[in-house]
Amino acid sequence: MVVHIQVWAWRRVGIPNLTLRLTFTVVDCGAEPGCLLRFSVFVIGFLVRTHGIGRFGPRRSKPMNEVDMSSLPSVSPRVRNRRGTVGVLLALAILCASALPSTAAPIRSANADGAAAWMAEQVAPDGSVLNPYSLDPSVDWALNVALGLAAVGTQPDALGRAMSYIESNVSNYVTGGSSDVAGRNAWLVILAYATGRDPRSFGMPATDLVAGILARYEVSESGLFGATGDEYTPVTTHALSVIALTAAGETVPIDAVTWLEEQQCPAGNSAAGAWEGYRARVVGVLVACGESSVGDFESAESGSTSLAIQALVAAGETGSVAAALEWLSGLQSFSGTAPGGFGQFIGDSSDPNSTALVVQAISAAGGDPDASPWRINEESPMTSLAHWVIQSGPGAGALASPYSSGEADIYATYQAVWGLTSTVFPFVEPLPVTTTASLDPVIDVTTPSFTG
C-alpha cells in the first residue's frame, strides 16, 4: 500500500480563519474503510504534532478575560469538555466520507415506515394534500409529502398519485407562493431526481427546472442564486439551488460556492462556524454575524447551517464543514421532551424538524448521528426523533412537535423522515421496497406528553 499526502493551508477570500485542506492519493487501498481510517488517524496525528491543532475552528480573537461572558450563551460543562473531541472525530468522518464513493442509500426503520404510512393517508385520490392551515388542496403540500415519501420508499401508490398531481400543476407551483423561484425549482429538481424523472422536461407542460434555477443566478448579487429580499431565506434558496444543480449533473459556478463559503460566520462570537439566513454587504463588506440566540430570527440557526453543509458536500467543497458541525454540536440539547436532538437557535429545546436537518448534515459529512460524538448517555439525534413518534390513536405513525400539543404534525412528519432514514440531499436513489430489521432505537413511550 502506498499513500501520498500533501498538506497545505491558505486563507479563503472573505473568511478570516485559517482553513486546512488535505488531498491525498490512495494506491492499492481503494475504498476499504480500515485503510481509510488508518490513513485519517495518521493525518490527524500529523496535524496535531505540526500545527498544534487540538480543536477545529480559529483561535479566539480576544483573550477570555477580555470577552463579555454575559453576552455568550449558556453551555453545559459536558458540551464544553467534548468540543475538542468533536472536532477531531468530525475531521476523521469528513476525510473518510470524501474518499468513499457516494453509494449510501437511506436506512430502513419502523418509525420511518410508520410515518410514511401516515403520510400516504394524507394523499387524496387525485394526488393533492390538504394545506394544514387553510384545509385547501395544495400542490405545495403534495410536494412536501412527496419529498417525505420519496425518502422512505415504502408507499409507491401514494407517491405516484402525488407526483401526478405535482406534474399536472408544475406551473402553478413554480410561479406560486412567496419564496424565490430558484428555490421552488430546486425542490422540484430534487424530487425529480429522487423519483427518476427528467428535471429538464418535468410535468405538463414540460418544464425545464434546471433552466429555471440558472435563470436566477446573479439576478441580485454576484455568485447568488435567487433574490436578497429578506434576511431569512437567501442562504436556504442558494443551498438548495447548488444541491439541485449537482443532482442534475450541472457544474456549479465557482462563484456560487465561494458565495456560500463567505456567508459562513467567522470567529468572534457564538455564531462562529454557522450560517445565518443571509448576511448582506454594506459598501462591499459583509455584515458581521450577531450572537445566536432564541428569539433573534436573523441570527445563525440550524436549518440554514445544515442545508449549507449539504450543498458544500454536494459541490465537493468540505473545507468549511468541520467548523459548521462543531457549531451544531454546541446546539445539541440534552433536556426537555426529546433529549439528544437540536433546536433552531442556541438555547432552544429540540424539535423534530431541526433535528432531522442536522441528521442530514451529519450524514452528509460521513458521520453517524447515532454514535459518538453525537450520542451521550444513550441519547442521540435518532433517539430524539423517536421520542416524537405518536404510538397510538388517529395520528399513530406521525410525529408530533413542540407546537402540536401531542397531535400529528404533517410539517414535522415529512421532514422528520429525512432524519429517520438519514437521507442526504440530493437523494442518492429511491429506497428499494424490502423488509428488513428495524434500525430504530427502542423508546418506551406509550402516551406522548408534549407541550404546545
Closest CA to 250 of 203, 206, 193, 322: 193
Q: Which fold has domain 103-420?
A: Glycosyltransferase (1.50.10)
Give the model's pLDDT for residue 336. Answer: 86
Give the model's pLDDT for residue 296. Answer: 75
Question: CA-to-CA distance for 345 and 295, rounded, in angstroms?
Answer: 8
Give the model's pLDDT for residue 64. Answer: 25
Question: CA-to-CA distance for 299 and 309, rounded, in angstroms?
Answer: 17
The pairing of strands 129-130 and 18-27 is unpaired
Encode pLDDT of 327-357 as tens digits: 999 999 998 889 999 999 998 999 999 999 9
Question: CA-to-CA distance for 380 and 363, rounded, in angstroms?
Answer: 14
Give the model's pLDDT for residue 178. Answer: 86
Question: CA-to-CA distance for 220 and 224, rounded, in angstroms?
Answer: 7
Report field, pTM of the whole predicted structure over 0.85: no
- Domain definitions of the chain by residue range: 103-420
Question: CA-to-CA distance for 289 and 380, rounded, in angstroms?
Answer: 29
Which residues, including other chains, have CB under 8 Å from residue 384's CB and lie 6 or more apart? 338, 339, 340, 341, 342, 350, 352, 355
Give the model's pLDDT for residue 203. Answer: 97
The DSSP bridge partners found for residue 183 are none
DSSP class of residue 448?
-
Encode pLDDT of 250-266 as tens digits: 999 999 999 999 999 99
Half-sphere exposure for 1 (CA within 13 Å, toward CB) = 11
Q: pLDDT tens string for the chain (452 positions)?
A: 333 232 222 222 232 222 222 222 222 333 333 333 333 333 333 333 333 322 222 222 222 222 232 222 333 333 334 444 455 455 444 444 443 333 345 577 899 999 999 999 999 999 999 999 999 999 999 999 999 999 999 999 999 999 999 999 999 999 988 899 999 999 999 999 999 999 999 999 999 999 999 999 999 999 999 999 889 999 999 999 999 999 999 999 999 999 999 999 999 899 999 999 999 999 999 999 988 876 777 899 999 999 999 999 999 999 999 999 999 999 999 988 899 999 999 989 999 999 999 999 999 999 999 999 999 999 999 999 999 999 999 999 999 999 999 999 999 999 999 999 999 999 864 333 333 333 454 443 333 333 33
Q: What are phi and psi of 344, to 5 degrees?
A: -85, -35
Tracing cell 445566536 back to the chain, one arrives at 292
Contact 239, 308 (CB under 8 A): yes
Contact 408, 390 (CB under 8 A): yes
Question: CA-to-CA distance for 141 and 137, rounded, in angstroms?
Answer: 8
